[in-house]
Amino acid sequence: MAELDQEFLEYTVKALVDNPESVKVERKVDEMGVLLTLHVDPTNMGQIIGRSGNTAKAIRTLLRVVGMKNNARVNLKIEEPEGGRHMPESDSAPVSAPEVVAEEESTPEVEVDAMAELGDLKL
């Protein structure tokens, strides 16, 4: 009964990722409560984190609810895989922002001068 939180996390994460066989959950209990550490394939990190971290927040919320039902405080740690977040050195050159070129506003005088020049051309 005590490991329902771990089973719940494994079931939920395996349903979300492309490589469910690579999902591993470690469970540790101490005076602070239960700590679940999640290990997934590096290619599945985006699916677990979600846009703006919303999927990870939702999983954490659900785990807290499961913990409350079992009178335990449950925390989730998502283990960053090797090579995560770090860009390879060849790609680590700073990217400069594109230059913004302001278009010059044309005044009616400039347009009139251009029309006069066109009138002088012989076709």
Q: Whole-angstrom Cα distance, residue 108 to residue 88?
A: 53
Any idea where the domains of the chain sit in the sequence? 4-82
Helix axes 4-16, 54-69, angle to 10 degrees: 160
**Tokens standing for residue 45:** 């990190």
> CA 86, 47, 79: angle at the middle one, nearest 5?
50
Task: Supply the mean pLDDT for the chain.
Answer: 79
Cα distance from N-terminal residue to C-terminal residue, the chain: 92
Kindly report the number of other CB atoms within 10 A of residue 49's CB atom.
16
CATH of the structural domain 4-82, one choice from 3.40.50.200, 2.40.290.10, 3.40.640.10, 3.30.300.20: 3.30.300.20
Spatial contact of 74 and 33, defined as CB atoms under 8 Å apart: yes
pLDDT tens per residue across span 55-101:
999 999 999 999 999 899 999 999 987 766 544 444 444 454 455 55
Decide which of 26 and 112 is more confident: 26
